[in-house]
Structure 1
């Protein structure tokens, strides 16, 4: 038990350092630069060196106990900043996935309508090209349509439609209601599939956390304008990572349904061993899961 708790504490400490402490220290360092230079001397390297040297001399003149206390306060402040940003990452995910709630319903509806017009235009062009037999034009229009969403958009953001498209596609193909299917399907899939899904979700969570640090740099930008450039860079890299992660996650979810749908139906005695899975079976499975709700 001692070795177990020791290893657990070590892993927690490593996670705390990598996810919270190091990014917080970087943000605090930028805040220190902002305090030293301000807006009027934002790029004055000589002033920065002089001010930092003065600070270090002042800290070095303090008693050891005061220095330790100051270090403890710094680490505590960094932990608080890290926890705050971690809480903000949930809002970042909601923003990315288009779950904006009632206050932003008007903006959300307009963005959905705009995305639908673009998707409908590309879809119509693809069908026209298919009917006319122009293969190259068909592939071009289909690629343009699929780049917007793999199904008709229902969310105001691209990331949100990546997950919404999975629900629409499996319902159209198998009669599956993913919301009711997923908890049961999770009990059927093997450990390797669960690990892949957890890993993909963790990458998305990490990308949202990364992007959320941009909020801290925007706050610092009120006192030192170059911090705004850092905020843009942090947000952009986090968002790009988030887009790649949510696409992978959505593909894995759809693949899990494709591969395990028959096993799930057989566990419910709704599919014979030699019977193939069809939409009629999928609808029966959905009826069982939803229980007339």
Structure 2
């Protein structure tokens, strides 16, 4: 038990350093740099050196007690900064996945719906043209088919399903629910805990990693936003913040897509296992009739 507690304490300490202390300490250093240099002397390294020398020559620099207090204060400030950034990351993640509720979110959702419908209409027109060309043996049939494929990809870049959320990540995460329902009449929200229990450890590890990556991307975006705030004192922080925010958003899109693909694959691969596990006969693939029966059973109607 003692060895287990020591190992657990070590892991918690490593996680604390990785998530809170080190990023917070770097941010505090950046904040001190921004305040010291300012906008007009943003590149004056000599001014930083002078400031460090004056701190080193202060009376408290020779006091072990003062140094210890300063170190504890810095670590506490770093941890507090990291905690705030973590909370901001959780808020950003909720914004990415939020439903259309307020006036602004509904407006953004309607805009995404219009874009999706326009892209869908272009895809269907291109598909009809390609089909007619292939039936008629036209010389440009291959080119029209490729055009239809490009239109299909353009529509799916907006959303795989008709949008219902103001942001891309919301529709990407919830898209498997609607796609699985359309394919199998299986309510993925109801079936998810059962599918999770049936999934092998490797599958659950992949899903957990993708979900963790989404949260990490949101935290990275929060840190980037914090660096953007420093640009009010030191404009180079805007470059750091913009690059960090862009990286966080791109990582968030990748993580959301990975999690959605894995969730849909879980239903495809283990939907039949779920039907068998709840006592239904399923010799072949999961059908819509059987999927609807599983959904009705899991919903536990009165």
Displacement after TM superposition at 1:59 (Å): 6.7
Q: Which runs of 5+ in 1 are unaligned?
A: none
State yes or no: 1:164 paired with 2:161. Answer: no
Displacement after TM superposition at 1:52 (Å): 2.2
Aligned residue in 1 for 2:112: 115
**Native 8 Å contact 1:262 1:271 kept in 2:** no
Aligned residue in 1 for 2:44: 44
C-alpha distance in 2, partners of 1:132/1:13? 62
Aligned residue in 2 for 1:147: 157
State yes or no: 1:271 paired with 2:281. Answer: yes
Aligned residue in 1 for 2:76: 76
CA displacement 1:158-214 (0-9 Å, x = unmatched): 111111211111111011212111112111111111111111111111111111112
CA displacement 1:13-43 (0-9 Å, x = unmatched): 1111111111111100011112212234333
Aligned residue in 2 for 1:127: 124
Instruction: Name which of structure 1's ranges 79-88 and 126-135 shifts more when overlaid on structure 2.
Output: 126-135
C-alpha distance in 2, partners of 1:71/1:99? 44
Aligned residue in 2 for 1:88: 88
**Native 8 Å contact 1:59 1:67 kept in 2:** no
**Native 8 Å contact 1:185 1:264 kept in 2:** yes
Displacement after TM superposition at 1:142 (Å): 0.3
C-alpha distance in 2, partners of 1:27/1:246? 27
Aligned residue in 1 for 2:290: 281
Q: Which runs of 5+ in 2 are unaligned?
A: 131-143
C-alpha distance in 2, partners of 1:14/1:61? 29
C-alpha distance in 2, partners of 1:129/1:215? 42
C-alpha distance in 2, partners of 1:94/1:60? 45
Classify the secondary structure of the residue corresponding to 2:23. helix
Classify the secondary structure of the residue corresponding to 2:111. helix
Question: TM-score, with normalisation over the residues of structure 1?
Answer: 0.93
Displacement after TM superposition at 1:287 (Å): 1.1
Displacement after TM superposition at 1:60 (Å): 6.2
C-alpha distance in 2, partners of 1:197/1:26? 31
Moved >3 Å (runs of 4+): 59-62
CA-based RMSD of the aligned residues comes to: 1.7
Instruction: Name which of structure 1's ranges 232-241 and 213-222 shifts more when overlaid on structure 2.
Output: 213-222
CA displacement 1:73-99 (0-9 Å, x = unmatched): 110111111111111111110122234
State yes or no: 1:247 paired with 2:257. Answer: yes
